[in-house]
Amino acid sequence: MGQGREWIEVDLSRLGREEATGRAWSRASWDRGTGDAIGWIGSWGGPSLALARLAELDREGRDGPGPLLLAVGDAVRRGVPTAARASLLGRSPGTGFLVEGQVGGALGTELATLAEVVVLRGRTSDPGAVLFLDAEEGVRLESHPEFAGLSSRQTWEALGAPDDAAVLSVGPAGEASIPFATLGTGGRKTSFVGRGGLGALFGAMGLKALVVRGARDASAPNDERALGLQAALVRSPRLAARAAGGTIELFEAYAARGELGGDAEAARRIAEQARIARDSREGCPRCPTPCGWTFERGDGSAQGVRFGAGRALSVNLGIADFDAALELLGLCDSFGVDAKEVGTMLALLARSREAGHLGDGPVWGDGAAFARALRVCLADRSGGELGEAFRAGAAALARRLADEVPLVRGVPVRRGAHPAALLGQCVSTGGTDPMRSFPFLVGDRSREELERLAPELAPLPEGAQDPESPVGKGRLVAWHEDLVAGVDATGFCAFSMAGLLADGVVELDELAHRLLPEELLDPEDERWRALSPGRRLLAMGANLVLLRRLLDVGAASAGGQDPDRPRWAAAELDREGMLAEYRALRGLDGRGRPDPAALAELGGPDAGRRTGALRRAPSNPNPGPERARARVPHPDRSGAVRVRAAGALRELLGEGATLRLRAPSTVAEVLGLLADAHPDSAGALFAGGRPIPAVWRDGHHLTPEDLVHPGDVLDLVTAIAGG
């Protein structure tokens, strides 16, 4: 056990020289060794093996750019439904921190028949270099200088629009190693990955594209452990909402949570325009709830969009026109740049213009002006010093404009997030994407249900389940980070995992049994064997988080600031139950580095999970002011309550529903009345007697027991973070 995990390693600096071709790439099997924590983690395969191999390469020392690693987990190789994720990881050329991204589509399934991990090292000097990894023809490098300046989609077309291979490529920004360049994969509908520097790294290694063609005679995977999972996925209301909205439902969800401030109504208009513009939908292989929507633009073309990018280029810029946001996103895709960072920088330009510091900058709400600014800075490469600062990234542009922008490890993030989301995006080792950083069960499950899912964290202090309270967020953020890290390492869709658990369609132990690699399904180590499948999946994730922390020790020590505690968020992070609690659980020092005792636990089932310290943490027996206010009874009287819904639930209830009730009534009672009035919606409102949607009032989260009064407007949110 632990033998036979294969990876391919390619030295780009040698590949292409005829005399060195035989030594330029190799195939090897991982040997877990004896008693070595890194070897044991690598035996789990896929992204775990990639991290372990990166740890070995760090020990050997690195020359030049790279390495860049691609990996697929066990669930992809076994053909588990919705498991099609490929992981990409490397170090940001700008900050030195580890950067990791997940991408669906054909890349993972093609790679799965070649090897679990591909390691790219060195740099090629061939212009327009395209690397081919072919199950039948081996490894080769071709030079295509005519590809210079092409977008990812144009590169795919120039390669003959292959339908039997996966293509990963950079646009013009990646060729120039612009720090916020991304990688595009797919063909007619291109997906982008690599926030934080992976596109810049790919370009710095001299690559324009990577073409992966797997074995054509590979038998279709048929894994007995996956039986029944497809039916479970179809039963999840949240996954149905994601399939219907393609993450655009999050515009209404964020508006309901009060996280968009004065932009809430603009966000609702964007969501309505998106519903009208829906064009076609695609999904990952074997996914019964595909969520990859494309939308028709005003000029008749189609454009894919996810909430995070859409928000950055719409309400973030004062734009309430969905088509204008799609135009900006199309420009980002053609250049191959991170739309979220571009949105941050365009907002900096508008703020500087508003303050009178920039005479000809774009103004809020003017989509055409923002598009012109983007073309000037990226396509024309003009704009003088300001254009140079723009191409250097958000931090450089903010310095040039004497402004500030919230950054975590060099990547722009959102201000104004609730405590759980704020802590998650500041400490997450898997990136700042909400799916990797936001504890999605907070607010969707009661304290008792959270304790049942995570008994090792019990007793949770009162208020831990409230997303608006800092209480207990350190432990819940860590628990969710462990879960997502473990799931990502298998290649299973994190969205699907979140929907299944949040809706109670499957229990954690059942899901873990379907996903765990063989080494952890039937472990030899008695300490691991003593754990339930769910606890093993969490311990797997905790080990990967700790290993990422270890790999980032150099970068964390180099800067002058605590990477987990950026100055702009320090006051909130210092609240009780936040950063200090997270670090106590992980065994981290004051700069986020694992302490000696934590490193000694690496590879074991207790790594990064010092729950004993948390049991002594004080609880807060008093509810917060909003929670207390929500439960104050009012005199009995009748009245009307208006209910608004987002996403798929909106299609069942319409634009809104008005209910007459005898007050005071609880949230659960109101949802029961709603189900009676709209019988078709009952399955989307309750599961096993438990309310499904999160309920918000005036930007505050309500529990099923909270009281509702005449005149209230309730927002029902059935959504999964991320996208």
What confidence tens digit (pLDDT) does each residue in 475-490 have? 999 999 999 999 999 9
The answer, yes or no, to whether residue 624 has pLDDT greater than 60, is no
Q: Are 631 and 474 in contact (CB under 8 A)?
A: no
**Would you state the pLDDT for residue 35?**
63
What count of other Cβ atoms lies within 10 Å of the Cβ of residue 594? Answer: 23
In degrees, to the nearest 5, what angle opens at C-alpha 685 toward C-alphas 687 and 721? 90
Residue where the block lists tokens 């003009």: 382
Q: Are 714 and 704 in contact (CB under 8 A)?
A: no
Report which of residues 245 and 514 the model is more confident about: 514
Q: Which two tokens stand for residue 274?
A: 């998106």
What count of other Cβ atoms lies within 10 Å of the Cβ of residue 613? Answer: 13
The answer, yes or no, to whether residue 631 has pLDDT greater than 80, is no
Nearest alpha carbon to residue 347 among 425, 280, 405: 405
Q: Which two tokens stand for residue 399?
A: 């310095």
Longest dimension (CA), the chain: 89
Domains detected in the chain: 5-213 (3.60.9.10), 228-403 (1.10.569.10), 417-615 (1.10.599.10), 625-717 (3.10.20.30)
Report which of residues 633 and 536 the model is more confident about: 536
CA atoms within 13 A on the CB side of 567: 4
Q: Are 348 and 398 in contact (CB under 8 A)?
A: yes
Residues 6 or more apart from 612 whose CB is under 8 A from it?
Answer: none
**Which phi and psi (to 5°) does residue 679 adopt?**
-55, -30
Q: Which of 129-138, 588-597, 653-662 has the lowest mean pLDDT?
A: 653-662
Tell me the average pLDDT across 650-667: 84
**Would you state the pLDDT for residue 249?**
86
Q: Which of 256-260, 503-507, 531-535, 578-582 has the lowest mean pLDDT?
A: 256-260
What confidence tens digit (pLDDT) does each residue in 284-331 have? 777 888 888 999 998 988 999 999 999 999 999 999 999 999 999 999
Q: Which two tokens stand for residue 40?
A: 């044991």
- What is the C-alpha separation between 15 and 133, in angstroms, rounded? 12
- What is the C-alpha separation between 406 and 61, in angstroms, rounded? 32
**Would you state the pLDDT for residue 60?**
86
pTM of the shown model: 0.92
What confidence tens digit (pLDDT) does each residue in 571-583 have? 999 999 999 999 9
- What is the C-alpha separation between 294 and 333, in angstroms, rounded? 14
Q: Give, as one character, the DSSP assignment of residue 325.
A: H
Helix orientation angle between 322-335 and 339-354, rounded to the nearest 10 degrees: 120
Q: Is 689 helix (H, G, I), strand (E, B) or coil?
A: coil
- What is the C-alpha separation between 257 and 231, in angstroms, rounded? 31
- What is the C-alpha separation between 43 and 38, in angstroms, rounded? 9
- What is the C-alpha separation between 600 and 610, in angstroms, rounded? 13
Report which of residues 216 and 157 the model is more confident about: 157
If 0-12 CB within 10 Å is exposed, 13-18 middle and 19+ buried, where does residue 638 land? Answer: exposed
If 0-12 CB within 10 Å is exposed, 13-18 middle and 19+ buried, where does residue 244 land? Answer: buried
Mean pLDDT, all residues of the chain: 88
- What is the C-alpha separation between 315 and 271, in angstroms, rounded? 11
Q: Percent of the chain beyond pLDDT 70?
A: 93
Q: Which residues of 473-483 are buried (b: 16+ CB within 10 A; e: fewer)?
A: bbbbbbbbbbb
Q: Is 199 helix (H, G, I), strand (E, B) or coil?
A: helix
Nearest alpha carbon to residue 189 among 271, 297, 295: 295
What count of other Cβ atoms lies within 10 Å of the Cβ of residue 690? Answer: 14
Nearest alpha carbon to residue 38 among 47, 28, 48, 27: 48
Q: Are 120 and 12 in contact (CB under 8 A)?
A: yes
Alpha-carbon dihedral sign for residues 227, 685, 256, 648 = positive
Q: Which segments within 397-503 are labelled E, that is strand?
A: 407-408, 411-412
**Would you state the pLDDT for residue 34?**
55
Element at 535 (helix H, strand E) = helix 533-551
What confidence tens digit (pLDDT) does each residue in 523-540 have? 999 999 999 999 999 999
- In sequence order, the β-bridge partners of residue 99 are 90
Question: Where does the pLDDT of residue 616 fall: very low under 50, low under 70, confident under 90, or very high at 90 and above?
Answer: very low
Q: Give, as one character, the DSSP assignment of residue 504.
A: T
Strands 713-717, 637-645: pairing kind: parallel
**Would you state the pLDDT for residue 632?**
47
Element at 58 (helix H, strand E) = helix 46-60
What confidence tens digit (pLDDT) does each residue in 47-95 have? 999 999 999 999 888 777 889 999 999 999 999 999 999 999 999 998 9
Tell me the average pLDDT across 444-459: 83
Question: Where does the pLDDT of residue 636 fall: very low under 50, low under 70, confident under 90, or very high at 90 and above?
Answer: low
Nearest alpha carbon to residue 23 among 3, 2, 9, 5: 9
Tell me the average pLDDT across 89-108: 91
Q: Which two tokens stand for residue 377?
A: 């800075």
Report which of residues 468 and 364 the model is more confident about: 364
Element at 167 (helix H, strand E) = strand 166-169
Report which of residues 12 and 626 the model is more confident about: 12
Cα–Cα distances in Å, from 466 out to 448, 471, 472? 12, 8, 9
The answer, yes or no, to whether residue 2 has pLDDT greater than 70, is no
Nearest alpha carbon to residue 549 among 507, 591, 603: 591
What confidence tens digit (pLDDT) does each residue in 7-34 have? 999 999 998 765 455 678 999 988 776 5
Q: Are 124 and 141 in contact (CB under 8 A)?
A: yes
**Would you state the pLDDT for residue 722?**
65
**Would you state the pLDDT for residue 169?**
97
Q: Which of 141-150, 178-187, 552-561 has the lowest mean pLDDT?
A: 552-561
Q: Which of 235-244, 315-324, 518-527, 606-615 has the lowest mean pLDDT?
A: 606-615
What confidence tens digit (pLDDT) does each residue in 359-383 have? 888 999 999 999 999 999 998 777 7
The answer, yes or no, to whether residue 723 has pLDDT greater than 90, is no
Question: Where does the pLDDT of residue 621 fall: very low under 50, low under 70, confident under 90, or very high at 90 and above?
Answer: very low
The rounded Cα 227 to chain-centroid distance in angstroms is 27
What confidence tens digit (pLDDT) does each residue in 685-694 have? 888 788 888 8
Tell me the average pLDDT across 328-344: 96
Residue type (1 letter), 83: A
**Would you state the pLDDT for residue 617?**
42
Question: Where does the pLDDT of residue 629 fall: very low under 50, low under 70, confident under 90, or very high at 90 and above?
Answer: very low
**Which phi and psi (to 5°) does residue 69 adopt?**
-120, 140
Tell me the average pLDDT across 207-224: 82
Length of the chain as a residue count: 723
Question: Where does the pLDDT of residue 345 fall: very low under 50, low under 70, confident under 90, or very high at 90 and above?
Answer: very high
Q: Is 660 helix (H, G, I), strand (E, B) or coil?
A: strand
Q: Which two tokens stand for residue 108?
A: 């993972």
What confidence tens digit (pLDDT) does each residue in 383-434 have? 788 999 999 999 999 999 999 999 999 999 988 778 998 999 999 999 888 7
Q: Which segments within 214-282 are labelled E, that is strand?
A: 278-282
- What is the C-alpha separation between 478 and 607, in angstroms, rounded? 12
